[in-house]
Amino acid sequence: MKHTGKTFTSQTLKLDGAEFIDCKMDDCDLIYSGGLPPSIIDCDIRDCRVTFEGPALNTLALLKGMASRGSAFQQFVRDILPMDTH
C-alpha cells in the first residue's frame, strides 16, 4: 500500500511491502514480518517502536546467535551487517 503525505498518530502500521513518502509517524507501532521490504522516504518518525514478527523475528534470532561470543560466524555477521558510522 502506498502512503504519501499522511500523518499517523498512535497507530499500528504493517511495514511489509508498504511505501511511505513524506509521511509523519508519531507514537506508532511499526510491525515488520519478513515480507517485501518497505520503502520509507523523507518521513518524520518520532517515538515509534519497531517490532519484528514471524520470519523477520526468526532471522534476527539466527543472526544474534551467529554473532554471539565464541560463534564461528561472528565475522560473517560483521561482514553482512557492517557497523560503519560514517
- Strand ranges of the sheet holding 7-9, from the earlier edge strand across to the other edge: 7-9, 24-26, 44-46
pLDDT tens, 54-78?
Answer: 999 999 999 999 999 999 999 889 8
Digit-coded pLDDT (tens) for 16-54: 999 999 999 999 999 999 999 999 999 999 999 999 999
pTM, rounded to two decimals = 0.81
The answer to whether 11 touches 31, Cβ cutoff 8 Å, is no
- Given a contact cutoff of 8 angstroms between Cβ atoms, the answer to whether 33 and 13 are in contact is no
